[in-house]
Amino acid sequence: MKNVMVTGGAGFIGSNFIHHLLKVEPDVQVINLDALTYAGSLENLKDVSDDPRYSFVQGDICDTDFVGGLLRKYQVDTIVHFAAESHVDRSILGPRQFVETNIMGTFSLLDAARTFWLQEKSLPVENVRFHHVSTDEVFGSLALGEPAWTEETPYAPNSPYAASKASSDHLVRSYGHTYGLPFTMTNCSNNYGPYQFPEKLIPLIILNAIDGKRLPVYGDGQQIRDWLHVEDHCDAIHLVLKKGIVGSTYNIGGENQPANLTIVETICEILDEVSMDASHTPHKNLIEFVKDRPGHDRRYDMDTHKISSELGWRPRHTLTGGLLDTVNWYLSHPEWVTAIRQKQEYKGWMDTNYKSR
Catalogue the active-site residues: 136-137, 161
Q: What part of residues 188-217 is at the interface with ligand TYD (CB under 6 A)? A: 190, 200-201, 204, 216-217
Count of other CB atoms within 10 angstroms of residue 11: 25
40 binds ligand NAD (CB under 6 A): yes
CB of 256 closer than 8 Å to CB of 323: no
With respect to ligand NAD, which residue has the nearer C-beta, 16 or 283? 16
User: Residue from 19, 165, 283, 317 that binds ligand NAD (CB under 6 A)?
Assistant: 165
Report in angstroms the alpha-carbon separations of 45 from 19, 71, 74, 344. 8, 22, 20, 21
Q: Specify the residue, 137 or 232, whose C-beta has the smaller distance to ligand TYD.
A: 137
* Contact pattern for ligand NAD over residues 81 through 120, marking x by CB under 6 A: -xxx-x--------------x---x---------------
d(CA 91, CA 135): 15
Q: Does 138 bind ligand NAD (CB under 6 A)?
A: no
**x-or-dash pattern for ligand TYD, window 260-299, by CB under 6 A?**
x--------------------------------x------
Minimum distance between the CB of residue 260 and ligand TYD, rounded to whole angstroms? 5
CA–centroid distance for 29 within its chain: 22
CB-CB neighbours of 121 under 10 Å? 9
Q: How far is the CB of 191 from ligand NAD (least distance, A)?
A: 4
Distances (CA, A) of 253 to 205, 275, 281: 22, 29, 32
Distance between CA atoms of 204 and 6, rounded to whole angstroms? 26
Which one of ligand NAD, ligand TYD, none interacts with residue 60, CB within 5 to 8 A by kind?
A: ligand NAD
Out of ligand TYD, ligand NAD, none, which partner does residue 260 contact, by CB within 5 to 8 A per kind? ligand TYD
Q: Is 88 in the site for ligand TYD (CB under 6 A)?
A: yes
Q: Check residue 121 and give left, alpha or beta (phi > 0: left; psi -120 to 50: alpha).
A: left
Which 108-137 positions form the footprint of ligand TYD (CB under 6 A)? none
Of residues 287, 289, 226, the one with CA closest to residue 255: 226
- Distance CA(40)–CA(196), nearest Å, equals 10
The residues that touch ligand NAD, with contacts defined as CB under 6 A, are: 7-8, 10-14, 33-37, 39-40, 60-62, 82-84, 86, 101, 105, 133, 135, 165, 188, 190-191, 197
